[in-house]
Amino acid sequence: MLRRTARLLAAFVMIMSGAVVGTVATAGTAHADGCYTWTRTLSQGASGADVTQLQIRLGGYAGYGTVLAVDGSFGPATSAALKRFQSAYGLSADGVAGTNTYNKLYALQDDDCTPIHFTYAELNRCNSDWSGGAVSAATAKANALRTMWKLEALRHALGDQPITVTSGFRSYSCNSAVGGSSSSRHLYGDAADLGAGPHSLCTLAKQARNHGFNGILGPGYPDHNDHTHLDHRSSRYWSAPTCGI
């Protein structure tokens, strides 16, 4: 909390300083962020690492049954996802990423680039160095970050009430210990199991269809009556028969 308060205070001082000297803050300069700072306005046709960073954070706004590509190319799908994000947070939904969009993103992330309501520790209770899975440690950790941003969008859509993550990345040894499938997406770091809390498992499964998850397994699917499973598999597979999915 102290870290976030200090960051918000720094942002306020920077904006007021610009006002005093009669300048207008441009995209990326209204707030220097501890994780990532955008330095230009982005819209359709743009490409580069800054677009990739934007796409990671917009992954949960891809739309019903859609997954947003993280490819560094700002096309119509990225524009549509950005408009959904802007609308969700009361911004002008113009599909252009500028100062207001960036400042909202800065407010939503911590200095390690995770969204403010989720942590790497929540997505990895198995092996803290992210090794031992089906992909490199770096890839597993990057996949977990994408998952967290999708979960942040899911959380916001459900009224900003807490979501409980019960399982994330697993090494092969951890996966075997809990009886996981040999092809489990948990081995890739791109899966999360959610427990019931303020929302039922069915509510979580149904809402997740709008937030970039190709894999959704929930009540009624074998061994999934006590959690809802979400992942990034390459093609869509949704099954939660008890929930009508």
- Give ∠ CA 26-157-139 in degrees, rounded to 5: 70
Q: Indicate if 224 belongs to the active site.
A: yes
Q: Measure the CA–CA gap between 214 and 143, rounded to whole angstroms.
A: 14
Q: Exactly one of 156, 224, 229, 232 is catalytic; which is it?
A: 224
CB of 144 closer than 8 Å to CB of 124: yes
Q: Could you tell me the two tokens for 115?
A: 């969204």
CB of 168 closer than 8 Å to CB of 147: yes
Q: Phi/psi class of residue 65: alpha, beta or left (left: φ > 0; alpha: ψ in -120 to 50)?
A: left
Q: Pick the closest to residue 69 from 208, 232, 244 (CA basis).
A: 232
Q: Could you tell me the two tokens for 160?
A: 């900003």
Residues with catalytic function = 224
